[in-house]
Structure 1
Amino acid sequence: LIVSAFMGCCLSQSPSSKGETTPQVVNFPRKDSGKLSVKSVEEVNDVFPLELLPLDLFFAILDYAEDSFSALSLVSRTLQYRVQDYVLSRGTHVGDFAISTKTNRNNELEIAIKLDVRTCDSKLFERRTFIGRPIDLHEILRSRRHGVVIYEMKFEVIDFESMIGFMRRTFGKFLTQVSIECDKGYIYRILEKFAFKKLRITYTTLTDATMSRLLQTIEKHGIDQLSLKIQENETSLPLNELYRLSELVRSLRIEQLSVDQNRHNFMFGIPDLHWDTIILNMFSGKLDKLELVNTDFPGYISYWGVKILEEKLPLLKKEIWFSASCSEYSEECEYDVDGYSVDVIRTSPSHHIISIKHSPRVNEKFEE
């Protein structure tokens, strides 16, 4: 109430009347001026009181006067710029950030972005979208779910650099998690402007070129958690690439998507590998959390492979978290050994899951 009364007073107050003396006042710079100047009251008789406040004090008032933004922006150009500066300086917490592309019927590039923002940040976020909105942005959809507002934006790319600048100003620097639904070079150009530690990406076919871009992104951004969905793998040294991933990230999830393969052992887009040995080797790097999902080819970890993992994973001098699809012939079990919880459970007639987790991590989910 005090802030509202103060704002109302300042918005309705006329400029100071002239006195017998001419006091000196500091005229804080407008957007188009980089210097402070000292002017007499006569020279600033068109200045509103709020324009004379130090910027940090003005911003502190705006923290409690969000509903006054529109009214303030109409008072003067100086206040309009100050409100815009405030909006752009206040970060909003962007959660999941998904990006995909397609070519429209006119053979023009379209980029679709879906992101969520906490409900408490949504008003500020929406104001940011209207500051310097590029002509590329032709649609914004909004929905709500569980304390967040979900925005879907569609860009018809006309000026790529302008579009990237808008994204950086609007979304802020930090993204909680990024999802890429296609692998294009310009997607990585967009992501260069942001900081994020969690990445989800889907590949129809993983190649040497796409793997190279992925590894560069992981190293550049310091990705700590990676989720991969993959159908086919055409990399020249797939095992080397897999071990490289386990050296770079702490948490890794790999899901084998459905493919037309008449095989019992098929994972990471590769047939006929000894995955029990591979898994043990992967935990020799930075990796300490691994989830493997393969409902179509659960036999990639055989009955004996499950037995080997049950025996050897708890012996690693590492507090690991491991969960994987495994052979339909696996024996169900549940026991604790050497500080680890070991479970093999049947989830369907043709599918089991093996879980070996350091006891304090038993209740962790992969996304944590």
Structure 2
Amino acid sequence: MAASTRSLSPMESLPRELMWAIIEYATETVFDLRLASSLLKSHVDDYAVQRRIVGLVEKMDMISEVTWMEIKLFVRTCRASLLELRYKLLDHHEELIPEDCENARLSRTFFHRPNYVIAVYREPAKWLQNLPEWIGGKAKIVRIEQIHQTQFPFETHVIALLDQIRTKKLKFTNYVDDDFIHHLLTTHRLAQLEVLSIALRTMTDPKKFLLYLSEHVPAVQIYQILDRAISDTVPYFLGMRDFDWAPTFLEMCSKKLDKLSIVNLGLTDFLPIESSEQLRKRLPYTGKGIWFEASCTNYEQDKKYVENNHQLSVDSRDIFGNFVSVKHTSRIDEKFDNDVDITR
């Protein structure tokens, strides 16, 4: 036994935990390490298929078309080899996307970074059921976009995946079914969620919905989707006309939420000067460092000053109109952006 041990290289002699730490530090080398020796190959493979592997997918997009759906996985360059190895090693990888499958396709593309695209043409549930395990059950950002009404239950597949994939940032864009968003967010577990961005047209009870979100999510962004049927001369937000939203926004910021962005570009009169002034006077005194920004009625001139360690301003942004903002001085440079730099 001693002779056998002496024949091992220094790296091969390392304990498994230390070997795994090295693999974690240099995941881009997993395929090279597997070629070094059978023992190192065993270490790498054991590491690659562990259930609690983290940081494989930075961002996952779920996009629906009329007759098919697409899953895009955005991966850091240094993690791409590990994701590919995990795909090959999992027992069910051939069931995920068989090579001769005409109903689904997995491809890898490069545009500054490795991306993996799963296009599903029939029976999405069959091809997506093993996806959560492949990517380690986590994605830092999940973006859901329904471009068209589909011929299959897209919402069902979204719920099924989100039940198995934990994420800190969730974003809905161009969504056509506001009732589904309401159902998903009021029934889905939000405990792990840190950032939520939603594009909405209307809500049955928008005030109740927003207050619910503010109890569970620290950062919320709401985009008002414009509807041609809505007159731009009527103050409007989430289905309500001539409603004073300032008290609701103040109540939201008194709960778990401390970062709120409201984008209502075509209907800025929903937040008149009186409401903007009420927010600017009271938000700096909530007892926490607030980051608040909302579309608002045009002011005659821009205003900017500091009160109780919060910068208060009304800024004109060309075609985007005016925004009233109240931001703690430590958070002035923060942006409300759900994307991350994954070029490395």
Question: Do the aligned partners of residues 316 and 58 (structure 1) sit closer, same or farther apart at CA in structure 2, a change above 3 Å counting?
Answer: closer
Structure 2 residue 235 is the aligned partner of structure 1 residue 265:
yes
1:278 matches 2:231: no
| Aligned positions of 1:242-321 closer than 5 A | 242-260=210-228, 261-263=230-232, 264-321=234-291
Q: Aligned ranges for residues 67-216 of structure 1 at < 5 Å? A: 67-68=31-32, 71=35, 84-89=45-50, 91-104=54-67, 110-131=68-89, 132-133=93-94, 134=96, 135=98, 137-145=104-112, 148-158=113-123, 160=125, 163-165=128-130, 167-182=131-146, 184-202=155-173, 203-207=175-179, 209-216=180-187
Higher strand share: 1
Distance 1:258 1:296 in 2: 7
**For 1:173 and 1:350, how far apart are their aligned partners in 2?**
38
Task: State the secondary structure of the residue aligned to 1:353.
Answer: strand
Residue 324 of structure 1 and its aligned partner are, at CA, apart by 1.1
In 2, are the aligned partners of 1:175 and 1:196 still within 8 Å (CA)? yes
What's 2:341 paired with? none
* Inter-CA distance 71–276: structure 2 relative to 1 (3 Å threshold): same
Greater mean deviation of Cα atoms: 245-254 or 150-159: 150-159
**Greater relative contact order (Cα 8 A, min sep 6): structure 1 or 2?**
2
**AA matched with 2:303:** C
Structure 2 vs 1, CA of residues 320 and 172 (structure 1 numbering), >3 Å: closer, same or farther?
A: same
Whether contact under 8 Å (1:298, 1:325) holds in the other structure is: yes
SS of match in other structure, 2:314: strand
Does structure 2 retain, via aligned residues, the 8 Å contact 1:330–1:344? no
8 A Cα contact 1:291 1:324, kept in partner: yes
Q: 2:194 aligns to what?
A: 224
Q: Which amino acid aligns with 1:96?
A: K
CA displacement at 1:68 relative to structure 2: 3.5
RMSD of the alignment, in Å? Answer: 3.4
Kindly state the Cα deviation for residue 238 of structure 1 after the two structures are TM-superposed: 2.1
**What secondary structure is seen at the aligned counterpart in 2 of 1:184?**
helix
TM (norm. structure 2) is 0.77
Cα drift, residue 212 of structure 1: 2.2
Structure 2: gaps of 5 or more residues: 147-153, 339-344
Counterparts of 2:254 and 2:134, CA distance in 1: 41
Deviations 1:251-303 (A, max 9, x none): 01011122111143122343322122221122122111101111111111112
1:153-210 deviation line (CA, Å, top 9, x unaligned): 2134447356322x12321122111111136022111121121121111332412x54
Q: Deviations over 1:90-112 (max 9, x none)?
A: 544311111123343xxxxx331
- Of 16, 22, 26, the residue aligned with 1:56 is 16
Q: Distance in 1 between matches of 2:177 and 2:21?
A: 53
1:233 and 2:202 aligned: yes
| Cα distance in structure 2, aligned partners of 1:177 and 1:61 | 25
Aligned to 1:40: none
What is the alpha-carbon distance in structure 2 between the residues aligned to residue 61 and residue 323 of structure 1?
A: 42
Cα distance in 2 for residues equivalent to 1:334 and 1:61: 50
Any unmatched runs of 5+ in structure 1? 1-22, 27-48, 105-109
Q: 1:328 aligns with which of 298, 315, 323?
A: 298
Deviations along 1:54-78, one digit per CA (max 9) or x if unpaired, are 99389659937634367579x8xx9
The answer to whether the 8 Å contact 1:330/1:352 transfers is no
TM-score, length of structure 1 as denominator length? 0.72
Q: 1:70 to 1:256 in 2, by over 3 A?
A: same
Name the CA shift for 1:234/1:67 in 2 (closer, same or farther; >3 Å): closer
Aligned residues: 309
